Structures are given as structure tokens and as C-alpha cells.
Amino acid sequence: QLQRPPAWMVEAAPKDERKLFDVMASVRGTVECDAPNEHINSFTGTLKLAADDEEAVPLSKDHVVLRGSSLHTDWLLGVAVYTGEDTKLALNARTPPQKLARLDKVTNRVVVAIFGCQLALALFTTGMKDTWEDDEFENLWYVGFRNHAQSSRSAYIEDARWPDLELTRTKPSFGWSFCTFLILYCNFIPLSLYVSLELCFLMLVLYVNWDVLMYHAPTDTPALARSPTVTDLGQVEYVFSDKTGTLTRNEMKLRRAIVHGTVYAVPEAPPTASGAAAAPPPPHEPPEEDGTGFSDAGLPDIAALAERAISQSDEFAALFLESLMLCNTVVVENKNGTVKYQAESPDEGALVDGAKAAAYVLSARTEHVLACETPALGGARRAWHILATNEFDNDRKRMSIFVREQFDDDHAPTRDGRPMLAEQPSLSLVAPEGSAPPSRNGVDAIPLYGGAGDAPSREGASSLRGKILLLCKGADNAMLAAASSTRNDAASLDTLRGRLDDFARQGLRTLVFGVRVFSEAEFAAWRDAYYAPALASLSDRDAMLKTASIAAETELTIVGATAIEDKLQIGVPETIATLANAGIKLWVLTGDKRETAIEIGKSCRLLRPGMPLAVLSSKAESDQLKAALLKLYDLSGAGDDVLCDDKDAQADLEAAVAEIRDWFKAALAKPSTNGSAGGANNRLDAVFGDNRVWGEDEAASTTPRALVIDGEAMTKLFGDPALETMLFGVLARCGSVIACRVTPKQKAQLVKLVQEHVKPTPVTLAIGDGANDVNMIMSAQVGVGISGHEGLQAVNASDFAIAQFRYLLRLLLVHGRWGYRRVCVLVLYSFYKNACLAATLFLYCFFTGYSGTSLFSDYFTALFNFFLFLMIFYTSIFDQDVDADYVHRYPQLYASGRDNLDLNVQIALQWIFMALVHAAIIFLVPCFALRLGTGAREDLASYQAFGAVVSCGFIGYMNLKVLFETRFFTRPLSGAGRTGGGLGVLPSTWFAAAFNVAFFYIGLLVAGIVGDGTSFIFQMLPFWNVGLTVLRQPSTWTITFLVITACAAVDLVRYAITLWFFPDPIAVSVERCRLGIGERRGKPKAGHATRSPYHDDEDAAGKASGSSATAWERFSDAVAHTLGAPRSHGDRVEATASS
């Protein structure tokens, strides 16, 4: 027989747990529940015991333990409902979508285009072959063609000289000839490129994982690349970011409490009892900031609120503090006498900690009972029976709990000699009969009772002991909408709204608390009509519970409000300012109210001083919202562009714009309501309502613009293709966007609509830390998860994982930009070398009668990519055009990837043109040099020898070409730091060059060596001794030198003309970096050190000297003009050491 579990057991059993445990030994019953589904946060079912004649016990998600859960108990009894692949975890175990990097897509398209060129080249050569054979047919007897007019050749030719010659009167068919040339040009397509790309991506991924500058020591969290799409990090144009836990630390602290209009301060947590000093952070980590930016001077402490509840019999204060302590779903862990809270959200944890600071301590919790200690009341131990819980949802934006204080031995904690609340003086809600109600700050007390006629008990004073209380908390707009109009003073609510707006402007998260007292009859009626049927229902239980919650959460008496601070992470303002200078548009998507979101935007420099700000608000009517959108549409210049590819869609857009414009003109034409001189402004206010638009001067300036839109406004605009197009035409021209009060679904919808409406389609990046960000992360081209306090859902769904938002800067500007430029060089070079090879074979066809004979031996075509692999591979993993510090100081250089400056049609055509020129030099120089022979006994003009000579020049310059395109040469290593050993010369660029050249010449020699007893002898017999013969001829080395010199001269002339007369900002930046122009000089003064967002100190760009600053200003203006990247000296952040 199983005994009743301890009272502290947290894992819930059904309500009738006593009955369940009594029959556990012979339990028989049925569980009816949902079919297997992937919804982790929902479960609907009932438990019906066979021996029980009563109604079934309702089951919910609170009774479900998922695989992998952490249990806060030593043992657990349960029934397996879903098993195997039907478990919720298994149904959710899907891999993130495979995202193909943009460079991969470009490469695939180019390969298709090159295959088309290969087909065209094969067709052209086949046509040339047929034409040439028709013209030269009579002279081609030596290849087996018999003239139709001549029946036979001489006996000497046919019988004596070539007795095995098979003569024919028909030429090879066009199809066979076409296949011959298609095979000849097979190397036109660089199939080895895909292998090289995979190896390169592997190294780029390892670089991210190994980067110690993105390692967060306090949480022991390194960066993690879960996808090879590193190159997309170098092309990001839009960043969509969550706020809570992403820009902020998600470490909520209750900072302010408001009761009766009085603001109370909540002090910071005291230092640890040990008093030991915290270990200093690693050298690359900035120190943690202890300052909050809020001063508690002049404000009473929250402990004074607890004192007021006792000394002044302030039941509002008492109920407010009890709401902080009780209105939650936190799990209480009590181990070794230490109470620790496990909250579903950091907000709840902050509220319970705030109550603890006022000596209202939640000490234990079961499914049925809340046990608390209140040292403020003389150490009384109290217990509340939980009658019902209405959980939070995004539609209500509230949560509430029904409780009743209990004193029976069955529920209350064991008495320990301390006084219980029953022995304390009662706290008054209503004044004794015959006396005036007490006054609180000049406001008469209002009874809390929800039922009319349920008068409070009078035992010398009213008391709430034994009464049923509904404690409710939620967002200010949702709570004030549910407030009673008769039980709340209008002036007090207006004061409260003003306080909440002030706190929102300071960036604090606000919550409002309300209370309602239910009579037994009221609660029983609500429970029987709404709550019990909802729990027993197997279908639409969530909707029914929502209806039950709405029915209960009415006629609330507002008892107070709180303001919670969520501190910004270190380096967020600097990171956002640098991203803005890089031309990356940052959108913050948050569920906070508009004022809070705006203040957070200002504090993190998303909204910079002087930036024009527009607001699209859901408080305005639909026509007003459309009118404001039309005004922004005109001011942004979006109306001047064609935003729709489809003509019908563009026509619908123009029709919608015309309709809104007509309404706008009609609204402006209406006479002013007050007839004052400001009637025009009044009419504009009437047209736009709560919306705000840019001014004409603000729209005409070059300063980046900002826009704030809330989720309900998005709901009104989404669904109409014309309005969506107008909205995203405006948003695409904004430097910063804040979307507030948005749901997780709307976050993902915004990302998808940007990819749909913004042309050309940009690379989007979404970054978040919680489960509500998963859809957004998976919808973006690049998803970044932050491993924070909300679990690992975002990390598991992401492409890259980091610990802090500031690491995003290094991920984009360093890893992304370097990776993009490295892979661009790899792709262009791969196409270049193969195009050069195909062009050489094409030229050789003119000298072989279009026979399809290959210029090179089989060994060369088989090992061609191996002879050239190591050099370009080293460049693709080691190359750096500028160093990391330089690109942080001048983030405008990020435009090279965002605007596709390193890989576009123009660049590709330049490389292909140079491949054709170099192929002509590589083939024609040996051809004309050897046409009269060398005078030596061995003739280099023979078939195999000539091909070997051409291959020497070909391989020599192909390696030199890689050196021309390399910006960073790695040097041999003497060791690997303090640990000793290491790779030595292996990572050196010069080792790769020497290896490639040596590999080729050794291969050339080995290919000419014929052994005995292998099939290789016969295949390589035509190449016997060719390598040795060719390499010992001085003519070979002379011709190779001439080929390399001629090709290098062409490239150098092109480089000189480009750099001297047509320099681009990237080339200028490389030169400046190599010459050290704009580098830091000297050390910063104490107290005025500047630092990068993630580790080191940096001066503002160009501040080393007056001359270099002026030079940088000119260069940065040129970059901004050429690349479209904004430059603003005001945007550069100079953080002091104390910031």
C-alpha cells in the first residue's frame, strides 16, 4: 500500500490524489486524452477509475512529465500515455531546415551557365570540324577517308605502307563528333569546386567554434556553428532581433512598486554572505556592469510598504505584497534550508524576489497549497489553498489565481511556536460600522468585494480570513480594461497611468495588480458554469479555460503596480551603432509596450539622437492608419519606384493608393472643429489620430529614419497585398524599425514578408534566445540563437549559437566578411582555371584539324585539380584583406558582401576575359616558339612533348595567379605558443606554393617512367620518357619563363590601371591597412579608454592624428557615396571605462 507523498512534492498528481493513492495497488481505469501531437505545452485528458462512480478527473499539461524533464522530487508515480515515436519530444525532434548559402545558389547557377557554354563550344567546334572536312576531304586519305571519285589508292599506300588502314567513304556523324568535343571540354565545369567549397566551409565553421573572443567565460559557453552558411554572414542586410534576453540580460530585477500613487524602491540584492571577491573576467571579457542607471535617492524602501501594511492597517499594501508572493506559478526548491525559485519566466522570479525583499517569503508550494513566511508580521507562517489557476496567454495578457487562506492541520505547515496570522490583529478593509472609512493619501477606501450584498464580517474590523480571493496581474492595458469603474478611484488610476508611462520611458517593464473578493456563491457559480466544464472537456479545453478566465477577471480593484528592469547586455549600444555604420538595418521585435520599446531603443542606440521617428499605432482607426501609411509612403520615396513585378499587382497597388489619397484629401477638406487658427494642425491630428509621421524636412534629410509599429496595427495592414507592399516599401527605407506587442507568429511573418517584398531579395538574419523566437529564426536566411535563461530551443533551431549579443558583431564583420571574400576568390579562381584549360584545348583544335585530340596527357587531366588545389585552398581559409581591428574601426567595409562587390556579373566576366587572354598566351607562346624546332636531338614540338611544355607554363602561372589574389601571406611557424610543437611550415603560403610546383614536376617525371608487368605501361606508353626529355631541355624553362612573364605582365597592367585610375573603396581600404594609415597611436588616457563591443580597446576612427582623421573623413565619405553606407561621426561610440 502506497503512502501519501510528502507535502513538498512538486510534481502534480490529479486533484483526487488521495483516492488515487488508496487504490494504486489495484488500480484499474481509463485515460482519455489527445491523439499524439507535437504541442509540448498542451495536454487535454481525463482519468476515469474503474472502481470510481464519480466523474472523471481532468488532466492537463500540469500532470504531464516529458522525457528529459528535471524532477524536483525523489520519486514519482505515473502512467505512460505516449511511447516511442508518439511522444511529444519525438514528434518535435525535427532537424532545422537545410538552408543553402547564397554563394552556393550563385555557384549552381553559374555551373548551369557554364554547361550551356560547354554545349555551345562543342556545337561550334563540331560545326567547324564538318566544314573543314568538307573542304579538305580529298586530302584526308591518311585518316581513312576514300574519295568518292577514286575507287582505290596505290598498293603501296593500302597494302605495303598501311596494310591495316580501313578506308571509308563516310565521315563520322555529327552526334559522335559532338560527343567527342563535349568530352574534350569536360573540364570546363569545375567539379572539384564543390569538394573545395565543402572543405573551405568546414574550416570556416571550425574558426567560429574555435574563436576565443566569442567565448563567454561566466557561463562557459563558446560560439557554435551549426550550419556551413558562414558566407551568408558576410551579406546580411536585415537583422531581426528579439529584445528580452537578446539585447537585454533577461535578468529581471524588481526596481519600483506603486501603491496609492506612492513609488517605492526595491534595493539591489545584498552581497553574498561569504564576502569573497568575484574572480576577474578573462582578458578578452569586459567587466560586468553593476550600475543600473536608476537612483533610489528620496524614495521609500519597499520594506516601508510592509510596515505600512501593519502600522496603518493598509489592506491595499498587504494585498499588493501578497499578490507579489502568491500570484505566480513558480516552483519552490528547499534544499538544505535554502529556498530557491524556479520560475517559468524571469518576470515571475523577479516579483517573488521583490516580495522576499519586503519580508513576504514564499517558502513552499504544492499543487494545492502555497506556504509562506512573513517576518514582517512577526514571523507568522501562513498557508493558502489554491482553488483555481488561470494561466497567462497572449490574448488576455493576464494571469490570475484563486486562493483562500487556510489554518487547518491538513494544509497548513507544522506549527513551530511562532504566531499564526489568526493570532495577529486583523487588517481593515472597511471601517467599523458607524465610523468613516479610512483615508489613504486623501482617497477614501473602496471595498474590494465583487458581490454586492456580501458584507464583510465584523469582528471589531473586517477580515479577509477564509475569504476567496482572486489575485490577478498583467499588462497595464489589459488590467485597466478589466478594472471596476465603481471600486477604483478615477484620479488614482490616472496617477497610476502617468507613473507607468514614466517607467516605460525609462525602459522598465510594467505590470499592474488587481484583486477581487468572491463570495462562496459567486465562486461556486463561476466554477460550475465555466471552470469545471472546461477541465472536463476533451475538445477546445484551452478556449473554454480562456473564456472562464475572462469571466472571472472582471470588476477588479487595482491595488498597485510594479516596474521591472531588464538590464542591457554589455556592448549592445556599441554593437548596434557599429551595425548601423556597416549599413545593416536592425529591426527589434518585442512584446513590450510601445513606450518601453522606444526607450530601450534609445538606450541601446537603435534610435539615435536626431533620427526622425514615425509611429503606426493600433489605437488609431483603420482609415487613420492607412492615411499615415500613405503619408510615410510618399515621404520615403517608395511611391517613385515600381514595387511589384506583376503588372496586375502594381495596378492594384496604384488603385489602393489612389483610394487612400482621396479619403485623405476629403478628411483634410473638412472644416476645423474649433475654428481656431490652428485648424490645419487639428485636421492633420484628426486624419492621423495616434499615428506620427515624419516631417517634410526630416524626410528630405539624409539621416536614417526610424519607424515604430505595434502588432495590432500590423494585423490591420496584413492580408491586403497592396497595403503590405506599401508598408514594406516604407520599412525598407528605414534605418531602424521597432515592432512592439508582436506575437511569435508575427515575428516570423515579418521576416517572410521582407524576403517577399524587398527587391532584390536581401539576406536576413534573425537572432533570439527563447522558444517564441524559433519561428523567426527558422524563417530567416541565417538564424542565430543566444544561449540564455530561456532554454536552448532557439539554439537548437539556429544556424549559429553565441552567448552574448555583442558577439554578433565579430560573427558578421570578421567571420562573415572574411568567409565571404575568401569563398568568392575560391569560386572565381576555380571557374578561371577551368575556363583557361578549356580555352587552351579549344585553340589546339585549330592545329589538329578539329580531330578532338587532347593537348594534354591523361595523367595531367586526371591530376589537374590536385596540382592547383593547395594554394587556392590556403587562400580560401587564411586570406585576410584587412585585419579584424581595422574592419571594426571602419565597418563601412562590410558593404563589399552586402552589395556583392566581390562576386557579380561584371567581376565574373573580367575573370573569364582574363582566362581567355591567358589561355592564348599559354598556348601560342610555346606554339610559335617551337614551330621551327629547338635544334636538339629531342624535338619538343612533338605531340606529347609539346603538351608537356604547355602544361609547365600553365601550372606555373596558375599558381602565381593565386599569389596575385592573396592579400595575407601566412609565415612558417617555429612552434605553437607556450605548449610547443605545432604545424611548423605547413600553414605557410610559401609551403603551399612549393608543394604545388614540386607535386607537378614530380608527377611529370613519374608519368614518363614505364615499369614492367602493369597495365599502366600500355596506357602511358605514348608518354614514355617525355617528362625527363622535356625538363632537361633549356628551351622548356625559357618558354615557361616567357609564358609566366607575359601572363603576369597582362595582370599587372590591369591591376595598375584599376588601382590608379578606377580604385574602389575596398582596394583603398586594403592599401590603407597595409600602410598603417588610421592605425591607433599611443595608449588611451586613464578613465577614457575605448573598447570594442567584445574585448579590446579602440580609439574612434581616425582620431590618432588630425591628418589621418581628415583623410579618413574623405575616404569614409567616398565609401558612403559609393556603397550607400551611412557615415556619421555622431554614431561612433566612445565608451568610458565606467560605462
Residue 475, classed as helix, strand or coil, is coil
Ramachandran bin of 555, using left for φ above 0, alpha for ψ from -120 to 50, beta for the remaining angles: left
Cα–Cα distance, 181 to 742 (Å, whole number): 60
Cα–Cα distance, 1121 to 245 (Å, whole number): 36
Among candidates 691, 490, 671, which has minimal Cα distance to 594?
691
Cα–Cα distance, 247 to 767 (Å, whole number): 10
| Contact (Cβ atoms closer than 8 angstroms) between residue 805 and residue 575 | yes
242 carries an active-site annotation = yes
Q: Which three cell numbers stand for residue 1095?
A: 574585448
Strand order in the sheet with 509-518: 262-265, 248-259, 557-568, 509-518, 468-474, 398-406, 380-390, 369-374, 361-365
Q: Which three cell numbers stand for residue 706?
A: 526610424
Whole-Å CA distances, 1067 to 56, 905, 1063, 1101: 76, 19, 6, 18
Q: State how beta strands 236-242 and 585-589 pair.
A: parallel
Among candidates 704, 1062, 812, 758, which has minimal Cα distance to 236?
812
Residue 377 corresponds to which amino acid?
Answer: L
Please list the residues that pair with 423 across neighbouring strands: none
| Contact (Cβ atoms closer than 8 angstroms) between residue 369 and residue 361 | no
Residue 764 corresponds to which amino acid?
Answer: T
- CB proximity list for 447: less than 8 A, separation 6 or greater: 429, 430, 456, 487
Residue 793, classed as helix, strand or coil, is helix
Cα–Cα distance, 287 to 279 (Å, whole number): 11
Q: Provide the residue count of the chain.
A: 1139
Taking the alpha carbons at both ends of the chain, their separation in whole angstroms is: 64
Q: Which three cell numbers stand for residue 122?
A: 562543342
Cα–Cα distance, 960 to 455 (Å, whole number): 96
User: Is omega for the bond preceding 36 within 30 degrees of 0, making it cis?
Assistant: no
Q: Phi and psi (nearest 5°) for 902?
A: -100, -15
Candidate list 104, 232, 242, 1131, residue with the active-site label: 242
Residue with cell 473602496: 446
Q: Which three cell numbers stand for residue 429?
A: 478593509
Whole-Å CA distances, 858 to 111, 864, 1023, 1056: 24, 10, 9, 38
Please list the residues that pair with 512 across neighbouring strands: 474, 561
What does DSSP assign to residue 46?
E
| Contact (Cβ atoms closer than 8 angstroms) between residue 10 and residue 73 | yes
Secondary structure tally for the chain: helices H, strands E: 38, 25
| Contact (Cβ atoms closer than 8 angstroms) between residue 767 and residue 246 | yes
Residue with cell 483562500: 404
User: Where does 182-328 show beta strands of DSSP type E?
Assistant: 224-225, 236-242, 248-259, 262-265
Q: Which three cell numbers stand for residue 1127?
A: 557615415
Q: Phi and psi (nearest 5°) for 992?
A: -60, -40
Strand order in the sheet with 29-33: 29-33, 45-49, 57-59
Residue 884, classed as helix, strand or coil, is helix
Q: Which three cell numbers stand for residue 1121?
A: 557615396
Residue with cell 482607426: 621
Residue 771, classed as helix, strand or coil, is helix
- The residues annotated with a catalytic role in the active site are 242
